[in-house]
């Protein structure tokens, strides 16, 4: 996942995609004490990071029962460290099968600021692009352009049928 720490520069130079300062990790919630304790541990850990890093976070549960830990910050390095540490905590607590994805948001300055995403699939250990264009529609041509720009720099999913759309991403600031 750390390959994004350099690939974002290529995306900006080649395609005009700027990091928005928002990313998220998502995992399926389960009932039970151990999962609840893990959630509390994650929140305590992230709260302890806030004085040291310029970083905010919030937890959101979507309509499918997935919890999203959404991060906002100015430095991609801080965002990546917090996101990776959160994923590691989920794995260490025995819930690695619940991890779905990490999502990194970019704004396309050359095309009116529309949002584009790189999604990291935990199960397949690779990235794929996602460019939503409206209600349940996507721009596969732009996704291919993103992949070709950074496909050599990071592990990319070659099978496009596995580029699963994640609709209604909760990355925008509430309110």
Give the model's pLDDT for residue 114: 84
Domain boundaries, the chain: 4-162
Give the model's pLDDT for residue 123: 93
Give the model's pLDDT for residue 175: 52
Q: How far apart are CA 105 and CA 126, in angstroms?
A: 16
Give the model's pLDDT for residue 166: 94
Give the model's pLDDT for residue 173: 63
Give the model's pLDDT for residue 50: 82
Q: How far apart are CA 28 and CA 99, in angstroms?
A: 7
User: pLDDT by residue for the chain (175 residues), tens digit each?
Assistant: 667 777 888 888 888 899 999 999 999 999 999 999 999 999 999 999 888 888 999 999 998 989 999 999 988 888 999 999 999 999 999 999 999 999 999 998 887 778 999 999 999 999 999 999 988 999 999 999 999 998 888 999 999 999 999 998 998 766 5
Q: How far apart are CA 16 and CA 112, in angstroms?
A: 11
């Amino acid at each position: 996942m750390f390959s994004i720490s350099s690939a974002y520069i290529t995306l900006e130079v080649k395609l005009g995609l700027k990091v928005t300062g928002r990313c998220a990790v998502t995992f399926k919630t389960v009932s039970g004490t151990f999962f609840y304790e893990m959630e509390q541990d994650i929140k305590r850990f992230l709260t302890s990071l806030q004085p040291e890093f310029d970083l905010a976070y919030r937890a959101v549960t979507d309509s499918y029962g997935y919890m999203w830990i959404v991060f906002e910050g100015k430095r991609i390095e801080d965002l990546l460290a917090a996101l990776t540490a959160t994923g590691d905590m989920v794995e260490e607590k025995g819930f690695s099968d619940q991890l779905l994805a990490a999502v990194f948001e970019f704004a396309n300055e050359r095309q009116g600021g529309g949002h584009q995403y790189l999604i990291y699939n935990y199960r397949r250990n690779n990235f794929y692009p996602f460019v939503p264009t409206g209600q349940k529609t996507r721009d596969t041509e732009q996704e291919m352009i993103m992949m070709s720009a950074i496909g050599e720099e990071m592990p990319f999913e070659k099978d496009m049928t596995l580029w699963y759309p994640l609709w209604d991403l909760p990355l925008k600031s509430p309110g």
